Amino acid sequence: MKSIGGKYFALAAAVAILGASVAARAEDQKKGAVSQQAEPAAQKTVEPSKKAEEAKLFYCKTCHGVQGQGFRGAFPMPRLAGQQPEYIKNQLQAFIEKRRTNPVMNNVAHVLSPEMVQYLSQSFHDLNPAPLGGAPQALVPAGKEIFQNGVPSENVPPCATCHGDDAKGNDKIPRLAGQLNDYVIRKLSNFENERGLKPSDADVSSLMKPIAHNLTKQQVAEVAAYVSTLK
């Protein structure tokens, strides 16, 4: 994990506890090598082997959870289970193009082939674990109100308009159902500094930016608590 040093030490430590992503990466390479020797006839030039795909998925899960349910460590690792494949693809591309900033994921994303991205995004979409939970329950009713009706006085439209009544998302609009509340709080509190960072490419984050901007800290905590409870 050469990309992680200094301030990401705590994150690296969390990963190590989970089962060592370094080992996972070594395993990844080993499996890739073995499958290339063992099944040359089955290898198509562009498609990653089944073993390479499974090893990569395992690697993602060392951070994102064995069921893609997310993980609370030094940084919250977002839930990917049930996420819209088009959203996952667009975010991985956004990390590569630096439209979205995150030192860990920039490095993870840039080595993935389009075929691998297709496989991984579909694999995570197909997982359906229960939400991790853990948000303050007292905030949930107010969060539900914001999600369904917005905050008209602050020019905040209902979240459901785009993210769907069930918060499952659609296409490049993410699923929020079951997402870790602490991850949602972090993202909504810093949206304009992390997304849509390539001036020449006005990506879909421009839809979300003003909304994140107009929510108060309290409202962010409330709506984050609500979505984290949804299955």
Instruction: List contacts with ligand HEC (CB under 6 A).
Output: 15, 21, 56, 59-60, 62-64, 75, 77-78, 80, 88, 90-92, 102, 104-105, 108, 112, 120, 146, 156-157, 159, 161-163, 172-174, 176, 179, 184, 187-188, 194-195, 204-205, 207-208, 211, 215, 223
19 Cβ partners below 8 Å, 6+ apart? Answer: 62
Of 41 and 101, which CB lies nearer to ligand HEC in the complex structure?
101
Q: How far is the CB of 80 from ligand HEC (least distance, A)?
A: 6
From 220, 167, 162, select the one nearest 190 (Cα to Cα). 220
Q: How far is the CB of 125 from ligand HEC (least distance, A)?
A: 11
In degrees, rounded to 5, the angle at the alpha carbon of residue 178 between the alpha carbons of residues 144 and 157 is: 40
Give kind and range of the element (H or E) at residue 102.
Answer: none
77: left (phi over 0), alpha (psi -120 to 50) or beta: beta
Of 40 and 147, which CB lies nearer to ligand HEC in the complex structure?
147
3-state secondary structure of 76: strand
Q: Are 178 and 231 in contact (CB under 8 A)?
A: yes
Angle between helices 140-149 and 217-229 (to 10 degrees): 90
Q: How far is the CB of 12 from ligand HEC (least distance, A)?
A: 7
Q: How far is the CB of 161 from ligand HEC (least distance, A)?
A: 5
Of 2 and 41, which CB lies nearer to ligand HEC in the complex structure?
2
Of 35 and 81, which CB lies nearer to ligand HEC in the complex structure?
81
Q: How far is the CB of 227 from ligand HEC (least distance, A)?
A: 7
